[in-house]
Chains A and B, each alone.
Chain A
Amino acid sequence: MAVTEVEPIVTARLGLPESWTLKTYVDNGGYAGLRKALSMSPGAIKDDMLNASLLGRGGAGFDAGKKWSMLAKGQPSYLVVNADESEPCTFKDHMLIEGDPHQLIEGTAICAYANGVTQAFIYVRGEFALGVERLTAAVNEAYDHGALGRDIFGSGFDLDLVVHYGAGAYIVGEETALLESLEGKRGFPRIKPPNFPAVSGLYGCPTVVNNVETLSYLPWIVINGGSSFSRMGEGVSAGTRLFSLSGHVNRPGNYEFEWAKATFRDLIEHPRLGGGVRNGNQLKAIIPGGASSPWFGPDKLDMALQHDVVQKAGSMLGSGSVIVMDHTTCAVRAAWRIVKFFHRESCGQCTPCREGSGWLEKIMIRIEQGSGREEDLELLLDVCDNISPDITWPPKQTTICVLGPSIPPAIATSLNMFRDEYLVHIKEGGCPFD
């Protein structure tokens, strides 16, 4: 296991001056992928995508080529780009939108062409004011350049692309809530089945929903071929991948490298990546894939950052965010903060999620502040069990969307790993880290 020497794909242009402008983009090979795609048949692109084995980078980890092949026939159909990045401690799409908006536009256009879509939307998280501005300016430039609009690059293919922006609600990142929101409604997830976007999505029409990072790989894949992509990485963990590294490391940031070859230790300690835990402190725990993922202890440091390996070990890489906590971190407080987040962001449609998250938050804050009781620990697990029966991995789902079942893992794993610390809070009547 090691960090391998491969050229970055989606971050290749980010260091260039004014990387967000059309000029920089085109001077560095931009829109060549779209030109090539338009000379191919949509079917050929879709076939090549199956070779690429590009796993969706939005968190659910579904193969993009397979997703496209499931798109129901029928007009109109739509493409909605999920640029609503709000998963705690995930900040890669934010960077791609601000730093290389044309790459996203090009990927979007390729995806639209391959799927016979002529109307696409990029749904940007409303808080990304600069991203919305850069993307809007880039769309203006792309139309003028002939890369969007009517008769793209003289191919006869038309595509209208609208930059839509939201207004702050984590749940809207869930794809059916995203579509509700894009219809001008509250971001309530829809019941699946029957509302699979590929069949019944935006305005009830077949809709492709893909993540920003996912689509940003497309220009490269079209130019280099799907099998060049899947030659990198390992199995379903193909290609390169962006990881958002945050917390107690010397060099937090977004890092792109060949997937499945490096380990958590590489990511955290490699001098070009995390650069080690800050102040030479001891590592306490990692949250390997977003707020909903079960935590890992230092014993998992040498595990490969690989989709199925991490899944088998009882957690997930999810949205590609890795949070590092050193020994100065209070595990109770960290778990409480995650539960507080879910409580705040629950859309309220399902009772276990709405009520359960509130109860858990109350119990957690009580423990953290020193007025917890020993029975609270069992109570926590009991409430978790009510939200997601048996607290398994992957969690069982009794709710409309997976936000509900995402709540227990942080509590269950932190309690399992740091039960003593919970008990100290209770016995000493306060947080030992204060």
Chain B
Amino acid sequence: MNRNELERIASQVRRDIVRMVANVNSGHPGGSLGCADFLTVLYFDVLHHNASNFSMEGKGEDIFYLSNGHISPVWYSVLARSGYFPVSELGTFRKLSSRLQGHPSTDKKLPGVRMASGSLGQGLSVALGNALQKKLDGDKSIVYTLHGDGELQEGQIWEAAMYAAANKVDNVIATIDFNGRQIDGDVDQVLSLGNLALKWQAFGWEVLEMDGHSIDDIKNTLAEAKTLTGNAKPVVIIMKTEMGQGVDFMMGSHKWHGVAPNPEQLVNALSQLEETLGDY
């Protein structure tokens, strides 16, 4: 898919995000907007997957795990827009009996979701397990994950990082949403990650970096990451993003991590995001 098409999808995804959280006055727009470009490219241009006929086991398919489950709005939008479930269902986000729980779950069998997430730090371990299963079964597909940068403060991430390198789990590509913000403020203020690239390298990972708002860079870097798989090393991409990307008043701080826009703010936000595929 070309850049223009992907950018148009990402714009619609951003509209979905702000409308979904505004609709229920809750949810996490900041990180969702920041990862809209990445997830759009991943689902529409990279993953080998079967959106219209979801299978939990995903045999022969690339798998994606959202480890930072609070940015569920962007994932739900991308899943719906790529055909996993009706786009109209986005309007049920966070409502009673909805399949679109506040944080992703398998409980109500939403197509596209294979594991609950929300309590942070668990997705990398899950991905490793899935990747090892694929190796056992001779399945050459890739397991992708997305993590928040603040999430890397969880110790389990580093347990998994150590395991993956020591055991050459080389069919995993992890991406870090490196926006530098978390609920309480800047990551550097809350608990600095230090030199993130060097940390992953020291843990034995192949480290790539990319601009999470350049469709071309995302495409190229994901393609490069894929060429690095099967090479006895796990791969991580440190993706520089801006929390709230695409909505000017949500950018530049941590304040829109988990706050929904009010009706006036929603109008303002939508005026900045082109409706390209039709609102749900």
Say if A and B assemble together. no
